[in-house]
Amino acid sequence: MPAGSFTVGGQTFTNLPAFCRVVVVATPSPDSHIGLEVWMPAAGWNQRYQQSGNGGFAGAIPYGSIASALRLGYAAAGTDDGHIGGTATFAPGHHQQVIDFGFRALKETTDKSKAVIAAFYGSGPARSYFVGCSDGGREALMEAQRFPEDFDGISAGAPANDWTHLFTGFIWNEQALFADAASLVPAAKLPAIQRAALAQCDKLDGIEDGDVSFADNTTAGTINSTDPDLSRFKAHGGKLIEWHGWDDPAIAPRNAINYFESVVAAQSRGEDEGRLETTQNFFRLFLAPGVLHCGGGPGPNVFDTLSPLVEWVEQGTAPERIVATKFAGDNPANGVLMTRPLCAFPKFAEHKGKGSTNDAANFVCRARDDED
């Protein structure tokens, strides 16, 4: 593809370098149809591979993330996770496609993409990175847990990793929401979309603990990525950055903390402080005040996890803080409103007591039990 603009999937991407685009369909089972694409710079490859995660129920190749990685010199790839369309309608009666969505499409994409890269350049990538948020965060943790040797660095944003419990919560919340609406307004006067949703909630009425247990026993092992044992990823030398917005209305930030703490607890060293130190040698969590689900929000919502991840992997410098920026009107052209440091959990940003609170330089990262 020539340098400049490129349109695909109803989206137009600009300022792209000349690149080779390879379109692949993988069929690891008779019922599989995994779409994936690999984009490789025609010149100036940085010797790195980046695989991008999806959002929601996937169903489309994440072209925007692939294009962003390509501009940075990466050979980049992504997948539709084995189906078209961003809903779960593919799942009933198609167990193999559920497996593809859960984890197999990720592995197919990694293996096929690295083979394509090696064929194109004559050698494979020197370093490999995975970046994703929401379902992509679930996928990122899945990579660290199930395929720990495939990536050197992983960025997992707002991970939907406890998938079966998360969607149980969504159903419960919708039942409560529309039940409240029905109690205030006669169903016949509700908007059509709310009437339809209320009807669906009536069908789902009475989700019991046994139903959740059934989902855990049948589906969680395929879709959830909650395994705290990252020993193989650690032994591989992998580095993991997890981040989550404190104002996330879709997935509670406590979910990210819970997973981090479960990994800390799984470390072999006996004392809490020792287990935390051992974990932070390969896994760090950053929480972003005022940030919504995977971005946006009233807080400093623009920050980069890939650059510190690359520095950690390739230079051995672990990130103590990541500086986040809030632009006026969320537009860089309007200037900077504030910067704040995101500190490696469990530390938090504390103002030094002098200087502007809108300047990250005037904050320190502090543990809650530090003495003044």
Token pair for 14: 């600009």
Are residues 274 and 259 in contact, defined by beta-carbon separation less than 8 angstroms? no
DSSP result, 122-185: SS--SEEEEEEETHHHHHHHHHHHHSTTS-SEEEEES---SHHHHHHHHHHHHHHHHHHHHHHS
Token pair for 216: 């855990």
DSSP result, 263-322: HHHHSS-SSHHHHHHHHHTTEEEEEETT--TTS-SSS--B--SHHHHHHHHHH----SEE
Annotated catalytic residue, options 32, 65, 134, 155: 134
Are residues 243 and 305 in contact, defined by beta-carbon separation less than 8 angstroms? yes
Any catalytic annotation for residue 134? Answer: yes
DSSP 6: E
Q: Which amino acid is it at 337? A: L
Pairing label, strands 48-52, 127-133: parallel
Any catalytic annotation for residue 359? Answer: no
Any catalytic annotation for residue 262? Answer: no
Annotated catalytic residue, options 81, 135, 152, 248: 248
Q: Write out the catalytic residue numbers.
A: 134, 248, 293
